[in-house]
């Protein structure tokens, strides 16, 4: 599969190195961070390397495999192994720096890690992710495909036993309604906005929905969340089926 990430370190507006993965090592006692550019390709060897302020960008492919969103960041380089090593193709480059964010786009390592899972075609277990990684996964889905425009099938089946916490609803409904890596929000407001956007254009094109194992739900908060969905779907006059 094509690389889905393109990370570029810029020095004086010239691209110095390029990578398809970057790792930020956090939890420093100071504001300093270690930024690691993995498996780099040297683009321009004829650049003067000095400590100072530089920029790097992270470009994300979308579902059409075009380069879509590009996030820019600034780092103030304190020290790095680029000063004392002959960089070769495939090296990892570490930079000790102070990282700042451009245009209110905050660095999210988890979103980058989600994209890295995809570009390496790694098998993952959704239930093994913590809530923060799940939220970042949904954010990555938005970068990948944006807002949904239509449903992929006429009948949706939601297995209620798969839902362990609220965000699971939107992950599994996204897959069932719109396909793998689909975005339909990470909360009720976003989800309902996505559905209403489609409904406004095609009131006759909504699917029917089966709630499988509905009577086997044990967690009261999950039951409440699903009943919230039921009320929303009923307001749109969807056909709902409840199975044990």
Is 60 inside a domain boundary? yes
Is 129 inside a domain boundary? yes
Terminus-to-terminus CA distance in the chain, angstroms? 40
Predicted local confidence at residue 46, as pLDDT = 76
Last residue of a domain, one of 85, 109, 133: 109
Predicted local confidence at residue 59, as pLDDT = 96
What span, in angstroms and rounded, lies between the C-alpha atoms of 205 and 80?
A: 56
Pair (89, 147) in one structural domain = no
Q: What is the pTM of this model?
A: 0.91
Predicted local confidence at residue 190, as pLDDT = 96
Predicted local confidence at residue 107, as pLDDT = 85
Pair (137, 203) in one structural domain = yes
Last residue of a domain, one of 109, 141, 161: 109
Closest CA to 7 of 49, 48, 39: 39
Pair (133, 59) in one structural domain = no
The whole domain housing 154 covers 124-242
Pair (85, 34) in one structural domain = yes
Is 190 inside a domain boundary? yes
| DSSP codes joined into one string, 39-82 | S-EES-S-----SEEEEEEEEEE-TTSSEEEEEEEEEEEEEEGG
Q: What is the largest CA-CA distance in the chain?
A: 68
Spell out the long-range contacts of 122-130 with Cβ–Cβ below 8 A and sequence spacing 24 or more.
Answer: 126/168, 126/171, 127/164
Predicted local confidence at residue 22, as pLDDT = 95
| 141-162 per-residue burial string, b: 16 or more CB within 10 A, e: under 16 | bbbbbeebeebeeeebebebee
What span, in angstroms and rounded, lies between the C-alpha atoms of 229 and 244?
A: 18
What span, in angstroms and rounded, lies between the C-alpha atoms of 135 and 237?
A: 30
Predicted local confidence at residue 57, as pLDDT = 92
Q: For every one of its 244 residues, what pLDDT tens digit does the chain have, with 9 covering 90 and above?
A: 689 999 999 887 889 899 999 998 875 555 677 889 999 998 887 776 666 778 899 999 999 999 998 998 888 877 776 665 678 888 998 888 877 766 557 889 999 999 999 999 999 999 999 999 999 999 999 999 999 999 999 999 999 999 999 999 999 999 999 999 999 999 999 999 999 999 998 887 889 999 999 999 999 999 999 999 999 999 999 999 998 8
Q: Three-state DSSP class for 181?
A: coil
Predicted local confidence at residue 29, as pLDDT = 54
Pair (46, 155) in one structural domain = no
Predicted local confidence at residue 84, as pLDDT = 58
Is 115 inside a domain boundary? no
Is 119 inside a domain boundary? no
Last residue of a domain, one of 84, 109, 134: 109
Pair (18, 98) in one structural domain = yes
Predicted local confidence at residue 13, as pLDDT = 82
Is 118 inside a domain boundary? no
How far is residue 86 CA from its own chain's centroid? 34
Count of domains forming the chain: 2
């Amino acid at each position: 599969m094509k690389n889905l990430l393109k990370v570029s370190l810029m020095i004086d507006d010239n691209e110095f190195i390029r990578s398809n993965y970057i790792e930020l090592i956090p939890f420093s006692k100071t504001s300093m961070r270690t930024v690691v550019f993995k498996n780099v390709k040297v683009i321009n060897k004829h650049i003067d390397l000095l400590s100072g302020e530089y920029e790097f960008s992270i470009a994300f492919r979308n579902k059409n495999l075009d380069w879509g969103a590009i996030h820019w960041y600034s780092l103030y380089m304190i020290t790095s192994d680029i000063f004392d090593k002959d960089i070769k193709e495939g090296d990892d480059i570490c930079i000790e720096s102070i990282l700042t964010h451009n245009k209110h786009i905050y660095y999210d390592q988890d979103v980058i890690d989600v994209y890295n899972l995809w570009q390496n075609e790694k098998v993952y277990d959704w239930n093994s992710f913590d809530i923060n990684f799940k939220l970042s996964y949904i954010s990555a889905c938005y970068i990948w495909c944006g807002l949904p425009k239509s449903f992929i099938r006429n009948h949706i089946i939601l297995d209620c036993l798969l839902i362990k916490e609220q965000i699971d609803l939107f992950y599994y409904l996204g897959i069932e309604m719109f396909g793998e890596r689909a975005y339909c929000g990470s909360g009720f407001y976003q989800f309902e906005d996505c559905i209403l956007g489609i409904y406004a254009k095609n009131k006759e094109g909504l699917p029917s929905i089966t709630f499988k194992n509905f009577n086997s739900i044990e967690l009261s908060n999950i039951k409440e969340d699903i009943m919230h969905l039921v009320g929303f779907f009923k307001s749109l006059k969807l056909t709902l089926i409840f199975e044990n």
